[in-house]
Amino acid sequence: MKKIWIGVGVVCAMTLVSCGGGADKTEERKVADAGAPAAGGAAATPDEANGGTITGKVVFEGTKPTAKTIDMSAVPFCMRAHASGPQKTEDVIVNDNGTLKYAFVWIKSGLPDTNWQLPATPVMLDQNGCMYRPHMIGVRAGQNIDIKTSDATNHNIHPQPTVNQDWNESQAPGSEDKMKTFPRQEVMIPVKCNIHPWMRAYIGVVSHPFFAVTGDDGTFTLKGLPPGTYTVEVWHEKYGTQDQTVTVGAKESKTQDFTIKG
Ligand SMILES: [Cu+2]
């Protein structure tokens, strides 16, 4: 426990913006305890029948950036994997309906202090065609991440957290999956591969179940929220973060869209 406190102190010293006030320190403290088992009492699950819902979409505004072709020519295996069409960059994907893909939406603050049940199933992260699939995942603090490789070439998985512990492991073709967890909330952990510099994934680690990654329609739904006032944050790897305050009652559904300017 003492070790965790020292760790939080260091993080606060380095990120003065997010750790300036007393309220933020309380938040950091909760964050530090996110993965710890609760002392007694059954773990809660979101009450989807009686809870509130926050839904919306992440709209992109501006000139749509053009995805670039990734140059994999240095590694013939990787290039052959995309023989039918070159792989494009995934840092900004604007969907056909004008929304953003791979935006991470989560409840940043406002939730009661609850011991939320951890899902038993892991979240999959594959290395396929020398790309991380999918590009972004959301996972609970303490939940397993099943890291697999579908490729006949060596990879190296190198998450670069600032709140959790850094690690760096190679994965050879045909080797068994790696089960990994991050014990502490952290939005966001970039993941690189030391062998293939273009490989990038993002793992959002959250201490509760209310988060989503936008897909091809750019929408998100956070269901089963206890009635309350929440800070909902969207995180995007290129456009940063945006917060909105949303109050939701029991069985109430609120729509809160985000507009990200390109
Ligand atoms: Cu790789």
Q: Where are the alpha helices (DSSP H) in the chain?
A: 2-14, 22-32, 76-81
Q: What is the DSSP string of 65-114?
A: PPPPBP--TTSHHHHHHTTTSPPBP-S-EE-TTSBEES-EEEEEE-----
The CATH number for 246's domain is 2.60.40.420
Tell how far the Cα of 10 is from the centroid of ligand 1, in angstroms.
31
pLDDT tens, residue by residue, 58-78 = 999 999 999 999 999 999 999
Residues 245 and 181 in one domain: yes
Strand partners, 259: 59
Mean pLDDT split into 10-residue runs, the chain, 262 residues: 38 37 38 46 91 98 94 96 95 97 98 96 98 98 98 98 97 97 98 98 98 98 98 98 98 98 94
**Which residues constitute the domain of residue 15?**
1-33
Whether the model clears a pTM of 0.75, i.e. scores above it, the answer is: yes
Tell how far the Cα of 86 is from the centroid of ligand 1, in angstroms.
17
Tell how far the Cα of 49 is from the centroid of ligand 1, in angstroms.
43
Tell how far the Cα of 132 is from the centroid of ligand 1, in angstroms.
8
Residue 198 lies in a domain: yes
Residue 236 lies in a domain: yes
Strand partners, 212: 105
Tell how far the Cα of 204 is from the centroid of ligand 1, in angstroms.
20
Residues 25 and 58 in one domain: no
Give the up-direction half-sphere exposure of residue 243: CA atoms within 13 A in the CB hemisphere: 8
Tell how far the Cα of 176 is from the centroid of ligand 1, in angstroms.
16
Residue 75 lies in a domain: yes
Residue 39 lies in a domain: no
The reported pLDDT for the residue numbered 197 is 97
Rounded Cα gap, residues 171 and 156, in angstroms: 6
Tell how far the Cα of 149 is from the centroid of ligand 1, in angstroms.
9
Residues 83 and 169 in one domain: yes
Tell how far the Cα of 91 is from the centroid of ligand 1, in angstroms.
17
Tell how far the Cα of 84 is from the centroid of ligand 1, in angstroms.
20
Tell how far the Cα of 130 is from the centroid of ligand 1, in angstroms.
5
Residues 114 and 235 in one domain: yes
Residue type, 57: K
Residues 167 and 237 in one domain: yes
Residues 85 and 22 in one domain: no
Residue 18 lies in a domain: yes
Residues 113 and 201 in one domain: yes
The reported pLDDT for the residue numbered 24 is 39
